[in-house]
Structure 1
Amino acid sequence: MIATLAMLLLACANEGPEPVRVVGSSTVFPFAAKTAETYSERTGIRMVVEQTGSGGGHKLFCSGDRSINATTSSRPQKPSEAALCASNGVKPVVEIRLGFDGIVLARSVAAAPMAIDEATLYRALARELPTSDTDCTAMPNPYTTWSQISPDLPNNRIEAYGPPPTSGTRDAFVETAMETGARHYPCLAEVERDTPNLFRARAHELREDGHWIDAGENDNALVQTLINTPTALGVFGFSFLEQNTDKVAAVSIDGIFPSRRTIRSGDYPVVRDLYLYLRGDDETGIAGYALELASDEASGLGGYLEAIGLIPLPEGERDLMRRRILATFEQNEGQAR
């Protein structure tokens, strides 16, 4: 039944003249584009994959524009985005986990090696800090060099380039690294317990005084910036680090360097899931494309996406994603009959 349904989905999709269009995450883009190329070669279905950032992708996908068939994302869809989808008739929305990625801090290979922990990262990059461990009165971040935070760190200006507010990488970075760092202040840990929304606001606000710089969605441009500014840090996905090891080197966090092993095991502290979202009533080739993404050949161990940096899901979870896709579109076929 599964094989028959998959063939039916492909056959129906070939009838449409418009391309299947996927928007979204710059982190997921290499995986989405490689899969689109493979899928198009196999089926003849035209594919268009665009980088808009995760936030931009959800906005377009949930707008009701039926020319947009799916969005990729480097963080889960937010409740506000789900509400926008529902209000514009984009339903059902099917969430497919694709694999794992780590968010890395990196410097030029010309710079001296650097190791930090999440508490230091929060002290360096938060817009405001507590006055003391026990007094959460907010004060503007006073640190301008790393050595002011710890004498073990270099006497370099704090300068970090990272993704803009529309980026899923930024969302995942503040929800993992920055929140964990904020909890090292005992008073902020109490705030999280008593007023979670206030804690999130304090933990998620990055500096706006020139020590954190929004670098856009173009990771290639970010790497060039790090080459030109060797003492600066860059924040981006692990897969992009793997593609540029001749230019940039990772900074260890809590004594652990990012690698496929440490990300898959969860030992590396800044790990996030990668997603595809599609509308379950879509009659184009998006279901077949999603099945290709979730296939063993693409996203399994040794698959062509692992070869370019995707950290695969466990086999059982990947099988669950395939069944989720098939169950949704099998139901649609039954209703159409």
Structure 2
Amino acid sequence: MRAAVFTAPGPPEVLLVRDLRDPGDPGEGEVRVKVGAVSVNPIDTYVRGGVVSPGPAPSEENPRIIGCDWAGTVEAVGSAVSRFAVGNRVWGVSRGIARDGAAAEVLNESEDLCFPTPEDRTDVQAAALGLAAVTAHLGLFRTGGLEERETGERFVFVQAGSGGVGSAAVALAAAAGYRVVTTAGSDAKRSACRERGAEVTFDYGDPDLADRLEAVLSHERMEEPRGFSVWLEGHRDPDLHAAIPLMRQGGAIVLFAGRSSEPCFPLGALYTRDISLRGFAMFNATAEELQTAAAGVARIEPLIARSYPLSEIARAHADQEAGDTGDRGGKLVIEL
């Protein structure tokens, strides 16, 4: 089978397409999937570059397959599989970190880590949901504590609403009945955020952003107590001094990026208003939590910047690292 691999950490050019041994029949509780599409995430570039490397060391003798997110069609099922049958279309996340990834023509995966692909979604669309959409759902609902609402008088703030996680979070929060405020770096990307459900958008580089957010929260339709119910922070160096005063009493600031950041923040303004500061990593979620999140994101339309053939996966990685995700933002996807 063809697969995108690397034999040593390095720049995008270390990615090669090679013929590898077929994984064979699925084991107990596994399904064999013919892969149709794989998406590219920042974490994939970190793994390839050696920044994140918990799995087996790549070598010439044991090349490592790249890629976390995938979608395809079940070709065979192992014993004890009950949720899927041959011909079912499925998608999944979380490969490629501590084990071989998904950028291959065929893979075997535990049925607990496979999710049904909605009938109206292509493999490219399903792969584009991937860990970005699952992260958004986990951050908003499991970690942030959002609940479905009938009246949209509470606000959610999503930092960087045109990226993979941010674009999914905007759509999810709006669909759940919240008024969404977000940021993006260009007029085209802010327009795309509004199309996905954001009520108000700002440039994240605006030096007066905190004042503009405060003005939004002073709106007469705002439900008391005022402030953001959840602040989903996608920047690696969050400004908690600005965020905490803008939170609703009992609200949650949710962090999922900034591995090396060491932010300072006003502790008194945090604990005296019952505000929580919560960090999480999608890779720590249980299979049950992933299944819940996957079902929750099935209703949203993924934002896709562009797709590439498997032979151009190195270019896709270079584009991801350069932030070249098109005028409107979104995911980069590899078609097999």
- TM-score normalised according to structure 1 size: 0.26
Higher strand share: 2
- TM-score normalised according to structure 2 size: 0.26
- Structure of greater relative contact order (alpha carbons < 8 Å, 6+ residues apart): 1
Instruction: Name which one, 1 or 2, has greater alpha-carbon Rg.
Output: 1
